[in-house]
Homo-oligomer: A and B are copies of this chain.
């Protein structure tokens, strides 16, 4: 029987994770029991939320314990099915793929990936969690009005790239914050009106003010940290802040986040600051996917992937994404 090199969590990172926090164990290919599927992994997704799952702190998702097999979003081909819903050869996606070439997943977590219309890995990108997050965070929680300024952090990332383009398609005024000039250049190709490089900015508050001369109406916050402060300092009356991610805290996840508090500003602007979790919008997924597919088909939606190859690269891909070294949606191809 083939061996199945599998990534398990070895230690909790106290700061920014390193590849040494995981170890590659040589496991056996597992067997599917009743209600399960054995899948051959084709793609794995690494996403910012995983930082929270390798922390002993309490989060919405139960975290990994030391010694646990790492799991996350993936796409694979069904090899053996103990479910009447799927058969061998089906291409499926699930949020619970192991970081391993062969994985057993519960059939209840799996969905068939439509083939033909888009490359299958789109199910991990603009037709999956990041694209849906961008769609609902912007349109349902942020709720911009026509012409309003929408500031988006991590603007070229998996969520940001879609949020910026949906904002442009819907007639809002998207402004990017990203970590390199190359990313900003691409953001402008996507339709962001302008952008700010937060790594080279000497005064982020002033630079956001200059980029958003009418102030910030909606802020899609993928980062927290100083970028959050710059947005809050430029927030308009009745501004909306959608807290989608906190990747700027990836290096100090289990420490108290001490910094500027914005309660005076919240009071004076009557801002609405709201945390976002995609699961809350499940009833509308099909509407969103139909919109995103249509826009893609019409050439209105570009996407960019950053692809690592081989099972041995998964922790490295996660770490570089947490550091912002990726350019586009970070994936691993097996």
Contacts and interface: CB of A to CB of B under 8 A. Distances in A.
Contact of A246 (B59, B263, B269, B276): B263
Contacts of A277: 267, 270
Interface in A248-268: 249, 256-264, 266-268
Contacts of A245: 267
A183 B280 CA distance: 40
A10 to B, nearest CB: 24
A319 interface: no
A111 interface: no
Query: What is the count of identical protomers in the complex?
Result: 2
A221 B224 CA distance: 22
Contacts of A271: 274-275
Contact of A275 (B244, B258, B268, B280): B268
A104 interface: no
A269 B249 CA distance: 17
Contact of A60 (B228, B244, B259, B268): B268
Nearest to A262: B257
**Top 6 A-B pairs ranked by shortest CB distance?**
A270-B275, A266-B275, A273-B273, A267-B275, A224-B263, A257-B261
Interface of A: 52, 59-60, 221, 224, 228, 243-246, 249, 256-264, 266-277, 280
19 contacts: A52-B264, A221-B263, A228-B263, A243-B263, A243-B266, A243-B267, A244-B267, A246-B263, A257-B263, A258-B258, A261-B261, A266-B275, A267-B277, A269-B275, A270-B277, A270-B280, A272-B273, A272-B274, A272-B275
